[in-house]
Amino acid sequence: MSEAIATIIKQKFPILIEPELLAEMEKYCTTRKLQAGTNFIEIGDKIIAMPLLISGSLKVVREDTEGNELLLYYLNGGETCATTLSCCLNNAKSEVRATVMEDITAILVPIACMDDWLKKYSSWRNFVMLSYRMRFEEMLQTIDSVAFKKMDERLEEYLKQRSSEINSSTIQGTHQEIADDLHTSREVVSRLLKQLEKLGRIKLSRNKIEILSLV
DNA sequence: ACATTAATTGTGT
DNA sequence: ACACAATTAATGT
């Protein structure tokens, strides 16, 4: 039924190279599938494994005391969740919620393997560090954008980022969802999108935005 | 094919 | 931010 884990890893996480590592993954890791709309990780969950996302997408959010969601980032195939990684390394409970946006397949690395592999395999170390670094830099960008940019610029950045993440110029979803991600009102998003459409830079239709020429 | 309805999007205040 | 209009997609007949 299911393909060998090592084969999938080679395709989606080519950074992991030691044959011994792949053999151990084959032995200890499991695969997991979840369908859109379900929660992969809930706030407060005890982390027992670290997910390597093969396909599909996840939305990772934090929640404030009033229950408002704050978007941290989207996760796509070939990526892993840096926040969960950090939880794994100090045996903590999850700080975040991860909701499945598109049906996912993930490989689960048991938390018990983490320490061991960090010692034994340099490519695993590199992978972990790289995941951290990339996510950290992305978050710095987000902070910049929240602090210094107006909503129209933030929206453009958001669109660009989403499209490059999923490798497609078409973004699925409603204006309301975008507004939630950006913490603004749906009307503001609709109006700004309309402006961009008038400029010929995007094309709007229901539940769908096509990006034509964002710089 | 048509009518009905619900969800999404557009716009004026 | 709110209220309402217009449009679109989905569904039943």
Q: Is the CB of A137 under 7 A from strand B?
A: no
Confidence of residue A88 (pLDDT cuts 50, 70, 90): confident
Q: Is the CB of A191 under 7 A from strand B?
A: yes
A93 with A41: CB under 8 angstroms?
no
CA-closest candidate to residue A85, choices A57, A113, A59, A105: A113
Query: Tell me, what's the pLDDT at A214?
Result: 73
Cα–Cα distance for residue pair A164/A166, rounded to 1 Å: 6
Q: Which of residues 53-92 of A touch strand B (CB under 7 A)?
A: none
Query: Which of these CATH numbers, 1.10.10.10, 2.60.120.10, 2.40.37.10, 3.50.50.60, describes A5-146?
Result: 2.60.120.10
| A188 CA vs C2 C1’ separation (Å) | 13
Cα–Cα distance for residue pair A145/A70, rounded to 1 Å: 15
Footprint of strand C on the protein (CB under 7 A): A 185, 187, 205-207
CA-closest candidate to residue A87, choices A114, A68, A106, A66: A114
Q: Indicate the pTM of the whole model.
A: 0.86
Q: At what angle do helices A151-166 and A122-148 cross, to 10 degrees?
A: 160
pLDDT in tens, A94-127: 999 999 999 999 999 999 999 999 999 999 999 9
Q: Where are the domains of chain A?
A: 5-146, 150-211
Torsions phi, psi of A93, nearest 5?
-85, 160
Cα–Cα distance for residue pair A68/A83, rounded to 1 Å: 19
Within 7 Å of a protein beta carbon, the nucleotides of strand B are: 7-12
| A37 CA vs B8 C1’ separation (Å) | 20
Same fold, A5-146 and A150-211: no
CA-closest candidate to residue A207, choices A178, A183, A164, A181: A178
Query: Tell me, what's the pLDDT at A2?
Result: 54
A79 with A12: CB under 8 angstroms?
no
- Strand pairing report for A170-172 and A69-76: unpaired
pLDDT at A26 over 90: yes
Supply the DSSP symbol for A109. Answer: E
Q: Is the CB of A195 under 7 A from strand B?
A: no
Residues A90, A84, A159, A146: is their CA dihedral positive or negative? negative
Count, residues in chain A:
215
pLDDT in tens, A27-45: 999 999 999 889 999 999 9
At A161 the three-state DSSP class reads: helix
Within 7 Å of a protein beta carbon, the nucleotides of strand C are: 1-3, 8-9
A207: region left, alpha or beta (phi > 0 left; psi from -120 to 50 alpha) = left
Nucleotide nearest to A208 (CA to C1'): B8
Query: Is CATH 1.25.40.10 the right assignment for the domain spanning A150-211?
Result: no
Nucleotide nearest to A186 (CA to C1'): B9
